[in-house]
Chains A and B, each alone.
Chain A
Amino acid sequence: MDINVLECHSLKKDYTRSVVFQDINISIKKGEILSLLGPSGCGKTTLLRCIAGLEQVSAGRILLNKTNVTTARAEVRNIVMMFQEPLLFPHLDVFENIVYGPKIRGESKGEILKKGQYMLEIIEMLEHSKKYPFELSGGQQQRVALARALILEPELILLDEPFSNLDPELRDSTRNWVRKILKEKGTAGCFVTHDKEEAMLMGDNLAILMEGRIQQIGSPMEVYQFPENRLVAEFFSEGLVLNNEEFVPVSKLEIISEDESNIDSQFEVLEGIILEKWMKVGQVMHRLYVPKLAAEIVVMVKKDLIPNDNVKIHYKRKDIQKLGGELC
């Protein structure tokens, strides 16, 4: 049976004048990674800090393996948080950084040596053990930070955009690597990001936090294909949001130039203007502006259109999706 490592019930955080988030209900099973996605400033970091115990929630309960830790201090929760920066202690070398946790727990010297060596092997940095943090590259630093967190065998690891300071290539490889290690060790994780692709790649499940609430939670594909409300559809699912209830996924849109016309009555038509175009994975991408909906959308069009061209956007009535699940 799958056990919930983390359960958050009706979490709320407010300051005197503003509410950061409310009604937060999430759970993470053993070995599961949950991506917490939201635009900048939506409160996702604050939520993570509350789960870590670095800040207190105003209301609600946090259960860690069925134990209530809502008011427990960060140092006694078996949760480790990894921040945007690796935050390796500058006065300690790589090995000392990694064994920081076991050392302050007072574990035996032999045990510490064994664990540290094992972690160095896992992060493939055996030859760097005597180096100091400033001698390492950004990716290496994050790997050491991960080893320092995992050596404690935490019930849950919280990742607050840990790859955002890495360059794109390193970011991809480090992300894959972190996911692989977490999966191998069966450690549950909560991964915060504002990058949609990263959230999809990293999480088994995905929760969208917007306007202080969890708007939708589910597998990345589910959320992408069946957005539950306008906010999720606009932020995460690519497509055209027609109104508060209706949405057409981008895959169902057909773009034709103005002079062509399709008089088939089952098609709905919207006007659009090409804003810009670029190449991606061998395809020509176009960014369109749809004046009627005041929306922008990125589409793949086989034809070569140029910026400022007027186009028509066609979609079938039957492809309109009801926000919340079913097709119309």
Chain B
Amino acid sequence: MLRTLSKLILIVTLISIFLVPLCFLVLFSVSANWWWPELFPGKFGLEPWFRIFNQPQIKAALWTTLWIGFLVIMLNLILALPIAKALAHLDFKGKSIIDTVFMLPILIPTMGIAMGLHITMIKYGLADSWVGVVLIHLLPTLPYSIRILRTAFEDLGVKWEEQARSLGASGITLLRTLWLPLILPSIRAIIFLTFIISMSQYILTVIIGGGKVVTLALVYFPYFNSSNPGAIAVLSIIFALLPLLIMGLWELIIRILFPVKKLKS
């Protein structure tokens, strides 16, 4: 009885929190005009979608978001892999200090660091450029990536590596044949998380990009001030679908790289 009740509460909550708003979003995006107090839209149509995709600014922002997101993911992986490996499996002086330094960006408000970095970036000509934006997006993402990978490396331990080394593997071979397949689930998590964090950055992108680097978030948020619910709905859906698109691409790449590999997870 209690179990049925709690199940019911769960289902109702899930529906009211996720499904209902999502339905509204979709409805808004395909309704030409829907004003209060009408219960249903007076007219359906894809005008909001056309309106959004007809704006070159939005299309450009979409590509910028994807491009920056891709680079941030790549940099995260390239940097987090060796750092996390070292933190997990090596003992060296100052390990705890380095560990703390890599965690600082999520302990201290990012704004503070970003302001300081802005000045440095102006000095090196990185402000107002996508390179600068990519670099600043590392602040809210890299600490998480390092933490995720470090836990994965710690869980796996060094025994597999020792066995593989004893069988003759080293360096890149070790990474390709052993570590990458074993930490694949963590890499998937990093890609997803990093992309979502990167595409959601507003303030950091505005400060460092100086308004010249326009990502989807920069276009999306000001729309909330507009009186166009259809456009907001379309942008919201694009916003929600982008990470799924990235995930799909990743799964596709994995299937191509490791065909019919059954992973024990």
- Residues on B with C-beta less than 8 A from A74 are 162, 165-166
Q: How far is the CA of A242 from the CA of B77 in the complex (A)?
A: 66
Q: Which of B149-186 contact A (CB under 8 A)?
A: 159-160, 162-170, 173, 177-178, 181-182
Given A83-B163, A132-B264, verify A91-B181 contact (CB < 8 Å): yes
The yes or no answer to B93 lying at the interface (CB within 8 A) is: no
Pick from A52, A89, A133, A152: contact of B168, CB under 8 Å: A152
- Residues on B with C-beta less than 8 A from A85 are 159
Identify which of B162, B164, B166, B168 gathers the most chain A CB atoms within 10 Å of its CB. B166
Q: Given contact pairs A54-B162, A91-B263, enumerate 15 new A-B contacts (beta carbons under 8 Å).
A: A52-B166, A73-B165, A74-B165, A81-B163, A83-B159, A85-B159, A89-B164, A90-B263, A90-B264, A100-B164, A101-B168, A104-B168, A105-B168, A132-B262, A149-B167
Closest 5 CB pairs of A and B: A91-B181, A75-B170, A87-B163, A81-B166, A74-B165
- Residues on A with C-beta less than 8 A from B169 are 75, 100, 104
In the complex formed, the residue of A with least CB distance to B182 is: A91
Q: Which of A31-85 contact B (CB under 8 A)?
A: 52-54, 73-76, 79-81, 83, 85
Given A74-B162, A148-B167, verify A100-B177 contact (CB < 8 Å): yes
Q: How far is the CA of A119 from the CA of B127 in the complex (A)?
A: 61
Docked-complex contact B159 and A104, CB < 8 angstroms: no
- Residues on B with C-beta less than 8 A from A132 are 262, 264
Contact with A along B226-265 (1 / 0, CB 8 A): 0000000000000000000000000000000000011110
B residues contacting the other copy or chain, number (CB 8 A): 20
In the complex formed, the residue of B with least CB distance to A81 is: B166
Q: How far is the CA of A53 from the CA of B167 in the complex (A)?
A: 12
Nearest-neighbour CB distance to chain A for B224, whole angstroms, equals: 46
- Residues on A with C-beta less than 8 A from B165 are 53-54, 73-75
A to B CB contacts below 8 Å, 22 in the list:
A54-B162, A74-B165, A74-B166, A75-B169, A76-B168, A80-B166, A83-B159, A87-B159, A87-B160, A89-B160, A90-B182, A90-B264, A91-B182, A93-B262, A100-B167, A100-B177, A101-B168, A103-B177, A104-B177, A133-B264, A148-B167, A152-B167
A residues sitting closer than 8 Å to B (CB atoms) are 52-54, 73-76, 79-81, 83, 85, 87, 89-91, 93, 100-101, 103-105, 132-134, 148-149, 152
Given A90-B182, A104-B177, verify A75-B168 contact (CB < 8 Å): yes
Docked-complex contact A101 and B167, CB < 8 angstroms: yes
Docked-complex contact A79 and B264, CB < 8 angstroms: no
Identify which of A54, A104, A152 gathers the most chain B CB atoms within 10 Å of its CB. A104
- Residues on A with C-beta less than 8 A from B159 are 83, 85, 87
Q: How far is the CA of A89 from the CA of B262 in the complex (A)?
A: 12
Q: How far is the CA of A133 from the CA of B263 in the complex (A)?
A: 11
In the complex formed, the residue of A with least CB distance to B160 is: A87
Docked-complex contact B166 and A89, CB < 8 angstroms: no
Q: How far is the CA of A104 from the CA of B165 in the complex (A)?
A: 11
Docked-complex contact A104 and B173, CB < 8 angstroms: yes
- Residues on B with C-beta less than 8 A from A101 are 167-168
- Residues on A with C-beta less than 8 A from B160 are 87, 89
Q: How far is the CA of A76 from the CA of B263 in the complex (A)?
A: 29
Nearest-neighbour CB distance to chain B for A292, whole angstroms, equals: 47
In the complex formed, the residue of A with least CB distance to B263 is: A91
Identify which of B167, B182, B262 gathers the most chain A CB atoms within 10 Å of its CB. B167
- Residues on B with C-beta less than 8 A from A103 are 177
Nearest-neighbour CB distance to chain A for B242, whole angstroms, equals: 30
Nearest-neighbour CB distance to chain B for A97, whole angstroms, equals: 10
